[in-house]
Structure 1
Amino acid sequence: MNIASLVVRAKPEHFGALEELYRGIPGAEVHARCVDSGHLVVTVEDGEGYSTADSILAVTMAKHALSVTLAYEYTDEGLELQELQEA
């Protein structure tokens, strides 16, 4: 499992268009918006047939996204190996 949380900066008048576009990106979901600061909070989760990196790139390249900041990232890949080494 891979999950990333992104903060997208955009003009509030473009929030609707961005949210619609983001709904079409696999694993992407808009969780919050702040019109006063011009920020959207978007999470991206991987799934079968697509990666978190691909979805993050799609969020970043979206028309009207002025900037995107990676706020949080989690992966459980490699945890099995780590647990084996610790045993």
Structure 2
Amino acid sequence: MISKTALSLTVALCFMMNIAIAQSDVSSNTDVCDLPKVVGICYGHKIRWYYDKTLQQCSQFVYGGCLGNENNFISKELCQKRCEPTKL
């Protein structure tokens, strides 16, 4: 027989997987740079960069470590290379 703890963990895992699948569906139909900043639900403290469409520049944020999206770069340079318009 399954314990209540195991059942709770299974339900939580299924919920998190559904969120991740929904995020990937959005990502596949949208340009990475158009996606919103998503800090995630975990408690990590990772400095990352995302493209801010309003400011039209890459900005820093703190990523929790899970359930983010693809608008999440490990460096400002990678974000700029992918998302910032080239200046003529």
TM-score, normalised on structure 2?
Answer: 0.30
TM-score, reference length from structure 1 = 0.30
Tell me which protein shows more helix as a share of its residues. Answer: 2
Structure richer in strand, relative to its length: 1
Q: Of the two structures, which has the highest relative contact order with CA contacts closer than 8 Å and spacing of 6 or more?
A: 1
Rg larger in 1 or in 2? 2
